[in-house]
Each structure stands twice: as structure tokens, then as C-alpha cells.
Structure 1
Amino acid sequence: MRLTETEILTMDPTDAGAPLLSDQVQISGNVVPMTLTTGGKLRWPDRCLSIAKDVLGFTVEGSRIKINAVIESGPGICCPSNVGAPMRKTFTFEPLSEDSLRLWNQRLQSVIDSLGNYFVVFLRNAVLLYTQ
């Protein structure tokens, strides 16, 4: 499925939407399906991240893509009162080909760019929350 630039820029980040990109990737040595939707959801078997709400950004390092996110932590053994506190986490996946790596990079950047100022405000708030 190919979207025009206009369709990408008008994506609704609250809607899961149709697949924008779906491919097999490697995570922790296992090949698993991963999907990026037109609504800005990044899904794989263990997790679903909202680009608008959870993702701080991403980097490409060699053949790997690292997604930097803020997620709610689960209950801790030492600190049960810390349930749901935000914490930074990096998720790493490796597309199975150079073309796939290039496509993931382009599509992730398109989704982030489509969020515009909302994404910048969210990042500012997440950083403030994280540093307190």
C-alpha cells in the first residue's frame, strides 16, 4: 500500500488505521511481524506503541533501528508504589534487508513529521517529567 504525501500528513494519530508498512523484522534474535499503521501505531507481538504518545524518537545504527520511548513501568519488587510511573525504554529491531531498513526509516520519519507541533510539545513535557 503506497500513500501520497498528503495522506501521510493528514494521518489521525488516535486511529489505529490501516497498515502503512508491515514486514518481518528481527527482535532479540527472533523473526517477528511488525506493523506501522496509518494511525501511528507500531505493533509487534510483544508490544504496541503509539508514535504520538509513547515514542520520543528513533535512530538508525548500522542495520538496526532503535525506538526511544516513554512507557509506564509495571509494579516493582522494591517499589510497589511506583506502579505506572513513566520510564524510558529503548526497543531495537533489525529489518531483514537494506531496502526494508530504508523503508522503515522513511515511514517512521513520515509519521513523526506528520505529528508536527503536537510531537514537539509532547517531547518537551516528557523530558520535563523524566528529569523531575
Structure 2
Amino acid sequence: MINNFSEYFENQHDIFLEDISYSRLGTDVVADCSLNCTDNINAQVIENQGIKLVVTRALEFEPTSIFSMKIAFGANLYFKEDKIKAFDWSEINLAEEFRENGDFIINELMSRITLMIAQITASFGQVPLILPPLIPTNDRKDK
């Protein structure tokens, strides 16, 4: 893992909505169902510039009912001039690096995803679904 990962990037970055989908699956509420929440991180090196990071959260009920949803927000992060050649960035597992040490940007993207989920689920007249804006990491412990 890279120590002080945030120091390799400029403070300014671009944030964007990458993808969003919502499907209402039925009006019947199933008494016993569970919500599956799947998070995914994708990071690509933009040659001699920086990294394109996309965080996706998908929600589905089991058994399939109520709705399914997927929201992805992304960020373009730009390398500091003196840090571009610090590593062979294409050889690093960037998704894992951001999952473990990317709180400086992951928190911002997950906050936007959480807000969007709450707004969409509130739009059909129910209490909004508010999920923690976190991606589980190896160092976080359940309390």
C-alpha cells in the first residue's frame, strides 16, 4: 500500500455522475426480504495525467421485489507534476489502493451516491433509504 496516497494528486479534481439506473419492480411489499448492497471501485490510469476513478453502488432485494438501482459517480484525479513517475501506475492495483487509502475522494463520491439513493427512494412517497456512505475496508471493524 502507498503511504500518504492523497499526496500524489492535485487538490483539484473533477467529479461527475457516470451512470444511474432505477427500476421499480412491483407495488407489492414482500414481508420478508433482504437488501443486497454491492459496491465496486474501478480505477484507470490516464496516461501522464492522472486516474479516472468510478465508484458504483448497486441495490437489489432478495427475493426480487420493490426496486433495483445502480448509481455510479466518478472523479478525474490529476497527478502532481513531481509524482507522475513515482510508480509504474499501471502495475498497481489501484482499485484496492483507493479502497484502503482513498478516503480523501471515496468519501466524497459515496456521500453523493448515498444522497442520490435517498432522494430517489423518497420520490415514491416512502421514508428515504439512507445507507452509510462507506465502502468496507479490511481495517474497519463491526461495532
Q: What is the TM-score with the length of structure 1 in the denominator?
A: 0.32
More helix per residue: 1 or 2? 1
Structure with greater contact order relative to length (CA < 8 Å, sep ≥ 6): 2
